[in-house]
Amino acid sequence: MLNEYTKIPAQMNSNVALKIIPGHYATTHSHVTNYMEIGTLKTRCNEAHGVANILAMHYTLSTPVDTIICADGTEVIGTYLAEELTKAGVLNCNAHKTIYVLAPEYAPNGQIIFRDNLQLALRGKHTLLLLGSLTTGRTLESLAEGVRYYGAVITGACAIFSTVKQVEGLPVISVFHPEEIPGYESYDVADCPLCKRGVPIDALVNSFGYSTLR
């Protein structure tokens, strides 16, 4: 198990807090100096609703949203976000006058799949991408590519935590930012100074959690 967390409250809602643990962690595309525990933000209804409230503040009535694609297990947040956007009067252009909430399926090779019966929620729909955390933006690039393949029109991207402000010209909205995390750094895998100094990796991490290595 990792050490005790330090809580970083969100600027717009002190009841929404990011839990962090300093160390040496390996993500899919980088090495980072802090583990972000976002599990409760995705699974506790009150915290997920708080995240959704903060994200919804950034979208205006001029940003149409027909579908929210929830990656990284963010379906609870996505459902509340759909509710908040609907209450705010955000435009949707589908015949049912509602917002679809979907999670991508992944093939063994990592390819994104949406089954035939769900493609109607993507084809020609204004789509918002929702993720857990972003350190390099590559996960968002892959998700955007897969969603566009099914004919969706991407109108926005958001995450609980993100180090990137935009990916391929697409602005990224996030609740938490790296400048709020004391000592946070992200390094390319091949150029990590911690590895060069022989500092062992504490855990493999992604937006679902961690697996310790020692």
Q: Are 184 and 162 a contacting pair, CB within 8 Å?
A: no
pTM: 0.91
Chain-centroid distance, C-alpha 99: 19
CATH of the domain at 64: 3.40.50.2020
Classify residue 202: in a domain, yes or no.
no
Write the single-letter amino acid at 142. S
Both ends of the chain: CA-CA distance in Å?
Answer: 9
pLDDT at 207: 76
How many other β-carbons are positioned within 10 Å of the β-carbon of residue 102?
A: 19
Q: How far apart are CA 70 and CA 159, in angstroms?
A: 10
Classify residue 208: in a domain, yes or no.
no
How many other β-carbons are positioned within 10 Å of the β-carbon of residue 109?
A: 5
pLDDT at 2: 66
pLDDT profile of the chain (214 residues), mean per 10: 82 91 92 93 96 91 88 96 86 70 92 94 95 91 95 95 91 94 92 96 88 82
**DSSP label at 40?**
H
Classify residue 204: in a domain, yes or no.
no
pLDDT at 1: 57
Q: How far apart are CA 59 and CA 118, in angstroms?
A: 25
Overall domain count for the chain? 1
* Structural domain that includes position 151: 6-195
pLDDT at 169: 87
Q: How far apart are CA 71 and CA 52, in angstroms?
A: 14
Chain-centroid distance, C-alpha 138: 12
Classify residue 90: in a domain, yes or no.
yes
Classify residue 1: in a domain, yes or no.
no
User: Six-digit token pair at 29?
Assistant: 């595309």
